[in-house]
Amino acid sequence: MALNYQKVMSLPLPEVRHRYTEKDTMLYALGVGVAQEDATDPAELRFCFERDLQALPTLAAVLGSDDDGSWAAESGIDFVRMLHGGQSLTVHRPLPASGEVLVTTTVDEIYDKGVAKGAIIVMTRSLRDAASGELWATTSMTAMLRGDGGCGGNPGSGPAPHPVPERAADHRVEVATRQDQALLYRLNGDFNPLHSDPAFAAMAGFERPILHGLCTYGIACRQLIRQLCGNDAARVTRLDARFSAPVMPGDRLLIEIWNDAPGQAGFRCSVPARGVLALNNGLFCYRV
């Protein structure tokens, strides 16, 4: 079944109520590599130990992700060939270490690149406190629909990326990932078999399961907080990035950071050993 543009744009997506605990917050932090290299570092324990626990802001990207995705299948999206293309996060108030959220999702647009090039879908999620209705965070996801070009969507290209400076980076951080990183990260709710099932990964054109783009995104966020925010996650207000190429579990990452202006930085993340740029056009905003 081909993607039905009009049907996707008019679908009523379900509201999701999600109660999460401090255990979930700590599991998420471990899933993005917190305390991986030093389990006694107080700066790391801040995100994975219940005493004075802080939630990483990118936790917002997985809260309310229990939606089974059946709407995508019903609308004709080729799920096997769908790849996460980019992520944006705006933090309206720091996430508490535990709580209950209502998550609403909308499809903003589908950009049709043509039969040979596929399509791009942009979706927005709003996270509100279930009791008060206060807006906690807004996330925007861009996905590449590699099998759905020619669907009749908007011929545009979507939001323009944040430019990365050509000069040398102001900060360079190397971070290791684990062989089982995707298996650990998926416990946060993203059970896409592309990240766990070798046979499914082969169907999608990969030699083996790849790391979740949102895991790499969370790893980058944690390092940006360390480098620019004095290890205080409550100072983060925005994090945008494009996913340029997959990270394989076990890859060693290089995160490069440029100070653009007070409270703003650009960044990218690469895998030097494979010559791969994984995250590009990164934008990080924070309270100074």
Residues tagged active-site: 190, 195, 210, 213
**Amino acid letter at 199?**
A
Extract the tokens encoding 52.
């004075």
Assign 194 to helix, strand or coil.
helix
DSSP H helical segments within the chain, as ranges?
A: 5-10, 22-31, 42-45, 70-74, 181-185, 198-203, 213-228
64 touches 190 (CB < 8 A)? no
Extract the tokens encoding 78.
């080729």
Residue 122's contacts (CB-CB under 8 Å, 6 or more residues apart) are 107, 108, 109, 110, 111, 140, 141, 142, 158, 159
CB neighbour class for 22 (10 Å; exposed up to 12, middle 13-18, buried from 19): middle
Question: How many angstroms separate the CA atoms of 49 and 40, rounded?
Answer: 10
CB neighbour class for 21 (10 Å; exposed up to 12, middle 13-18, buried from 19): exposed
Q: What angle do CA 98, 101, 105 make, to 5 degrees?
A: 140
Question: How many angstroms separate the CA atoms of 234 and 59, rounded?
Answer: 13
